Amino acid sequence: MCYYRAGKLTSIGLVMAKIDTSFTDEQLTALLTGKDAERAFTLLYDRYSSRIHAYCYRIVEDSAHAEDIFQETFIRFFQNAKAGRPMSNVPGFLITIARNLCLNHKRNRKVTVAIDDFHFPTSESKNYEQKELLDLIARSLELLDYDHREAFVLREYDGLSYEEVAAIVGTSVTNAKSRAFRAKQKIKAILQPYLKDLCG
């Protein structure tokens, strides 16, 4: 049985088979329908949880709802895997689930989140100016419409190719490029006054 708490997976009664981190996604997903399912799932969770967690937080401007979506993403992934659904691209499948849940959240709720509610992770090694700039970029994301924000996050934060972005959001490669470019231009325009202050 798998339990989720505060962004971490805890498991009870894991079958500790000879499965380790050297296993590929394909090997691990093949094990998700058998007796070693929980061990295989734990390894996949450890492999992709931070990436999916960051995606949810950047797309949904509400930490509590982002956490719920993050947890639900892995629950649905596990359910689909246990049911034997084929998946050749595990991170892509996870992001697709998370994206659909984010869209459902957006449809069911009028987003009126204050800028101060947006939390953006920064590295401890960053200096003050870099942290401030990252915070400004995170805040500026709130001012973008959903389509442009999502394309920007998938491309710039998750490092996906335009082909992968297009496949996830259900549009053409050209449109994916356009959304990411326009998002970047809008962010630059929003940040321009602040950049002068930071560099001045």
Q: Please report the domains of the chain, with CATH numbers, ordered by start residue.
A: 1-112 (1.10.1740.10), 120-200 (1.10.10.10)
The Cα 61–Cα 137 span in angstroms is 14
Residue 121 pLDDT: 44
Long-range contacts of 6-12 (CB under 8 A, 24+ apart): 7/49, 7/53, 7/67, 7/70, 9/42, 9/45, 9/46, 9/49, 9/74, 11/38, 11/42
* Residue pLDDT, tens place only, 139-156: 788 788 888 888 888 888
Confidence of residue 137 (pLDDT cuts 50, 70, 90): confident
Share of the chain above pLDDT 90, in %: 17
On whether the pTM is more than 0.85, the answer is no
